[in-house]
Amino acid sequence: MNKHNELQLYLASGSPRRHELLAQLGYRFEVLKLDVPERREEGEKAQDYVCRLARDKAMAGVAAAPAALPVLGADTIVVLGDRVLEKPSDLLDAKDMLEALSGKVHQVMTAVALATPERCDVRLVTTNVAFRKLDEAEIEAYWRTGEPCDKAGAYAIQGIAGKFVSRIEGSYSAVVGLPLLETDLLIKHHLEQSR
């Protein structure tokens, strides 16, 4: 295997969106599919929660990786006030989330972690997203598309729900699931240090 084809890292995520975004950065990686529990602890702040999940995923990847390479883990949550909106359990849950987001500004927090057996570096990116007013009929129609089922906050900005977004301040790619700038800097820094 020549230098240009050598594996550089692992991605501890089954998300096709994270896979696509990491591929855009041009690194050579393989995906590790892991089952890491995603449960917020009592009194845990939203930003601490998302950073912990990214760290947990990266560290679980280090334990499972077939080669001694860094592992990238990430997690994304939607935050409205003091509510953390995770993946909806059903239509009622999704409606509740989308009605809460309707006509308001919320935060999307994405944490990305790069881990080796020796260390784990975490970056947190928070983006403000404003939704226009949504009515019940369009929320129900959106649910029927199947898109919100497995998405934090019951929406995918890169999909049909893009039409609900009136404004965004921050990193679009972080809202999709992986902040390109911060991820690239994290990996570059690690690769330079390990030369």
Q: What is the residue-wise DSSP string for 44-101? A: --HHHHHHHHHHHHHHHHHHH-SSS--EEEEEEEEEETTEEE---SSHHHHHHHHHHH
Residues serving a catalytic function are: 75
